[in-house]
Chains A and B, each alone.
Chain A
Amino acid sequence: MDKDMDSKQPNRRKFLKRAAVAGLAAEAVRSAKGQTPASPWREKGTSKELIAYGERSRFVTSLRAPVAERPSPDMFGLMFHVLTPLQDSVGSITPSSLHYVATHRGSYIPEIDPKQHRLMIHGMVDRPLIFTMDDLKRLPYVTRVHFIECIGNRAKPTHKTVQETHGMTSCSEWTGVLLSTLLKECGVQNGASWIVAEGAEEIKGASSIPLGKAMDDCLVAWGMNGEPIRPQQGFPLRLLVPGFEGIFQTKYLRRVKVVDRYYMTYNDYGHINPDPKATALGNQIGPKSVITYPSGGQQLAGPGFYEISGLAWSGGGAIRSVEVSTDGGKSWKEAELRTPAFPMAHTRFGFHWNWDGKECVILSRCTDELGTVQPTRAQAAKYFGKTLTPDFRVPGADNTVQSWRVASDGSVHNEFA
Chain B
Amino acid sequence: MNSLKCLALATLLGLGIASAQSPTYGVGRKPAAEEIRAWDISISPTGEELPPGRGTAKEGESLFKQKGCAGCHGPTGMGGQAPALVKGGPPPGQTPPKGMEGMHMVPDTGIMALRSPYATTIWDYISRGMPLNKEGTLKPAEVYAITASLLYKNDVIKEDEVMDAQSLPKVNMPNKNGFADMPVWKHGVPRLAGYP
Contacts and interface: CB of A to CB of B under 8 A. Distances in A.
A316 B190 CA distance: 7
B35 A275 contact: no
A417 interface: no
Contacts of B183: 276, 279-280, 283
B195 A277 contact: yes
B181 A284 contact: no
A30 interface: no
A59 interface: no
Interface stretch (B22-30, B52-60, B140-148, B152-160): B22-30
Most buried by A among B31, B129, B195, B196: B196
Given A196-B42, A265-B42, A370 B195 contact: no
B97 A75 contact: yes
A274 B121 contact: no
B138 to A, nearest CB: 13
Contacts of A246: none
B45 interface: yes
Nearest to B120: A264
Interface in B147-196: 178-192, 195-196
Contact of A185 (B25, B43, B184): B25
Contact of B28 (A135, A203, A217, A382): A135
Contact of B100 (A70, A206, A255, A396): A70
Contact of A203 (B21, B100, B129, B178): B129
A206 B43 CA distance: 10
A299 to B, nearest CB: 30
A377 B191 CA distance: 17
Given A266-B121, A269-B121, A274-B180, A138 B30 contact: no
Interface in A92-140: 105, 120, 122, 126-131, 135, 138-139
Interface string A344-380: 0000000000000000000000000011100100011
Nearest to A125: B21
Contact of B25 (A139, A204, A372): A139
Nearest to B185: A210
B92 to A, nearest CB: 23
Contacts of A187: 21-23
Interface in B37-56: 39-46
A270 to B, nearest CB: 11
Nearest to A208: B182
Given A202-B135, A262-B182, A272-B179, A129 B30 contact: yes
A52 B31 CA distance: 40
Given A206-B42, A283-B183, 10 more contacts: A185-B27, A202-B135, A210-B184, A213-B185, A254-B39, A263-B45, A276-B180, A283-B191, A315-B191, A370-B189
Interface of A: 69-71, 74-76, 105, 120, 122, 126-131, 135, 138-139, 181, 184-188, 196, 198, 202-204, 206, 208, 210, 212-213, 216-217, 254-255, 257, 259, 261-266, 268-269, 271-281, 283-284, 286, 315-317, 370-372, 375, 379-380, 382-383, 396
Given A120-B36, A257-B40, A138 B25 contact: yes
25 contacts: A70-B99, A70-B100, A70-B102, A71-B99, A74-B99, A127-B23, A129-B30, A130-B28, A130-B35, A131-B27, A135-B28, A186-B23, A204-B41, A206-B128, A255-B39, A262-B182, A264-B120, A264-B121, A264-B124, A265-B124, A266-B128, A266-B129, A283-B191, A370-B188, A371-B190
Interface string B113-138: 00111101100110011001101100
Given A75-B81, A204-B128, A216-B187, A129 B121 contact: no
B63 interface: no
B194 to A, nearest CB: 8
Contacts of B111: none
A384 B190 CA distance: 17
A281 B117 CA distance: 20
Contact of B195 (A196, A212, A281): A281
Nearest to B125: A266
Contacts of A71: 99
B191 A396 contact: yes
Given A128-B31, A269-B116, A375-B195, A76 B129 contact: no
B27 A139 contact: yes
A383 B35 contact: no
A263 B117 CA distance: 11
B31 A122 contact: yes
